Amino acid sequence: MTDGNTAVRVRFAPSPTGFFHVGSARAALYNWFYARQQGGALVLRIEDTDAERNKEEWVDCIYSAMRWLGLDWDELYRQSERTDLYREAAEKLYAGGLAYYCDCTAEVVQDRTKDNATPGYDGFCRDRGLGPGPGRALRFRTPDEGTTVVHDVVRGDPVFEHRTIEDFVLVRGSGAAMFILANVVDDIDMRISHVIRGEDHLPNTPKYLLLWRALGGPAEPVFAHLPLLVNEQRKKLSKRRDKVAVEDYRDGGYLPEAMVNFLALLGWSPGEDREIVPVDEMVAGFRLEDVNNSPAYFDEKKLLYVNGEYVRMLPVAEFVERSVPYLDAAGLAWDRAAFEEMAPLVQERVKVLTEVPAMVDFFFADPVIDDKDWDKRVVRGPAAAELLADAIAAYGAADLPWTAEALHDATAALGERRGQGLGKAQFPIRVAVTGRAVGPPLFESLAVLGRERTLTRLQAALDRLVPAA
RNA sequence: GCCCCCAUCGUCUAGUGGCCUAGGACACCACCCUUUCAAGGUGGCGGCACGGGUUCGAAUCCCGUUGGGGGUGCCA
């Protein structure tokens, strides 16, 4: 598909108008896959032509989110620093009679065309011979007849009739270039070979092509319009309605490699019934022509599953390291040695790193007893007071080695004496010591906690259960 | 309204005319394992939107219908 003589040059061109969106991340990822696989270049181009809506902090969001995902770029441009190029292109178009100035305001255009079968600008100023002037926009003069075909690797060859394309604005009345102009000028200038972007751009691709030709661009790029990412209502993921910010997932305890793997699966399949695939294998196996053409639902449940897989694949030391920010964020006065001891048991029980603190908090502070668990597993549990008292006696015995195994056996014996299985018997102890009915394996936890702290907590629970007369 | 795109289990997908009695994964349910919870194992539920063609043969090709989505900005 690629012409072997032409270097593959792709671009990811986000506009800094909000937090970095998972849909953008997916588009960036596919561009990156293709560039890396083909040994081509990935251009990161910040499309900040609309000063009103852009913010510098959003630009930083783009950089940090991409770095977090591991998507590196080879060249970086900002459209706000390239305005001369756009002005030159606009002047060339005007001089060549391919564009004209228009002084119609948006309101006027709307009033004039609202009853037309095909709304949009009606070409009112086409032949008025207006020159440049304050407040005047420059419009592209689209052909009245004929068609433009978009050759798209994932969509086939959609045909657009020129008569359905209005004379669109190239330069605002303020003199600032519009997206379409800057986009095409840059793609030509940057020798972009493949335009890989969201499907929402498909309708403006004929305009892009018309402009490309008017500007005398060389060989046109290959297009690949990616299926949209949608929410449960099957609507395009939106910043207002949906949880779409990549940084929210980062803060939510997701691993970047899991996010990358999950995103890759939305619109493409590694094949052979494989889903959890290392990134280098995805890069190697990625095919633009295998990208799907129907919208994909961003299913957080599946993301959660994928993340759990990646969490469990981590070497323990790495898991510990990655958990640090989340432990700190939870405000725990945590201790590394103790956490390291429990880490393997915690690792296979969490799906996101934000769950880590709640798994180990009882090591580093007095347990906060969960009322529901206390009521269900202790108060209403059979003879809990007696069991707690027995546990205190058994655990306090000087000849009991303080090991998980010995504690397991001692507790099993306690339960047996009253006809309880270990599963039941451990509940009051677990709630007393950790505050909750669920958590990492109990006896291993007690072994790390130590005899003294365990006994203190058991006694506290017993006192709470049976207040001293 | 007009233009364009899309259509396989609830979801993500495999499938490119016979390997399909439509495969995998998530979710869900059951059972097993088990010190709670997870993880793991086994099994189950569940789909080619509909109607016409083409063909010896269609999930796969064509047409139509229906349904969904995107675009329609001096936003990107």
Tokens of A191: 């020798």
| Residue A276: nearest nucleotide (C-alpha to C1') | B25
Q: Is residue A114 pLDDT above 80, yes or no?
A: no
**Which strands form A9-12's sheet, in the order they lie side by side?**
A75-78, A41-46, A9-12, A194-198, A222-226
Query: Do A94 and A63 belong to one domain?
Result: no
Greatest mean pLDDT range, A84-88, A413-417, A457-461, A465-469: A84-88
Distance A354 CA to B9 C1' (A): 32
Under DSSP, the state recorded for A42 is: E
Region A406-417: mean pLDDT is 92
pLDDT band at A348 (very low <50, low <70, confident <90, very high): very high
Residue A214 in contact with residue A186, Cβ under 8 Å?
A: no
Measure CA to C1' and name the residue nearest B3.
Answer: A164
Please, which pLDDT band fits residue A4 given cuts at 50, 70 and 90?
Answer: very low
Residue nearest to nucleotide B37 (CA to C1'): A438
A77 and A189 housed in the same domain: yes
Spanning CA of A290 to C1' of B23, the rounded length in angstroms is 18
Q: Which residues pair with A21 in a beta bridge?
A: A245
Same-domain pairing of A76 and A212: yes
**Distance from residue A269's CA to nucleotide B23's C1', rounded to whole Å:** 14
Based on the fold, state whether residues A58 and A207 are members of the same structural domain: yes
CA A161 to C1' B3 (Å) is: 9
For residue A460, the SS3 value is: helix
> Do A91 and A52 share a structural domain?
no
Name the band, by pLDDT with cuts 50, 70 and 90, for residue A113: confident
Closest CA relative to residue A180, chosen from A47, A20, A24, A78: A47
Diameter of chain A measured on Cα atoms: 103
A63 with A195, same domain: the answer is yes
Model pLDDT for residues A311-327, shown as the tens digit of each residue? 999 999 999 999 999 99
pLDDT, residue A418, reads 86
Contacts of A415 (CB under 8 A, 6+ apart): A387, A421, A422, A424, A425, A426
Nucleotide nearest to A299 (CA to C1'): B11
Domain-located, residue A281: no
Residues A70 and A200 in one domain: yes
Task: Tell me: do A166 and A202 sit in the same domain.
Answer: no
Q: How many domains does chain A have?
A: 4
Dig out the tokens for A21 from the structure: 């969106």
Percent of chain A topping pLDDT 70 = 98
Of A30, A33, A40, the C-alpha closest to A2 is: A40
Task: Using the Cα atoms of residue A67, residue A72, residue A75 and residue A78 in order, give the sign of their dihedral.
Answer: negative
Quote the pLDDT of residue A468. Answer: 63
Q: Within this chain, do residues A426 and A441 fall inside the same structural domain, yes or no?
A: yes
Average per-residue pLDDT in chain A? 93
**Residues A397 and A459 both lie in one domain:** yes
Res. A191 pLDDT band, cuts 50 70 90: very high
Tell me which long-range contacts A76-79 makes (C-beta under 8 A, separation of at least 24). A76/A43, A76/A44, A76/A45, A76/A46, A77/A43, A77/A44, A77/A45, A77/A46, A77/A186, A77/A190, A78/A45, A78/A46, A78/A48, A79/A45, A79/A46, A79/A47, A79/A48, A79/A49, A79/A177, A79/A182, A79/A186
pLDDT tens, residue by residue, A76-100: 999 999 999 999 999 999 999 999 9
A164 nearest nt, CA–C1': B3
Nucleotide nearest to A178 (CA to C1'): B74
Spell out the residues 6+ positions from residue A213 whose beta carbon is closer than 8 angstroms to its own.
none
- List the catalytic residues of A: 239
Query: A14 and A59: one domain?
Result: yes
Residue A350 has pLDDT above 90, yes or no: yes
* Bases on strand B under 7 Å from any protein CB: 1-8, 10-16, 23-27, 35-40, 68-76
- Is A301 part of a structural domain of the chain? no
Residue A394 included in any domain = yes
Query: Residue A411 is encoded by which pair of tokens?
Result: 């507790």
ipTM: 0.96
Q: Which two tokens stand for residue A274?
A: 């494989």
Q: What residues pair up with A226 in beta bridges, in sequence order?
A: A198
* Pair (A43, A117) in one structural domain: no
User: Is the residue at A406 inside a domain?
Assistant: yes
Among the residue ranges A103-107, A147-151, A402-406, the one predicted with the least confidence is A103-107
Range of the domain at A358: 314-364
Q: How far is the CA of A168 from the C1' of B42 (A)?
A: 62
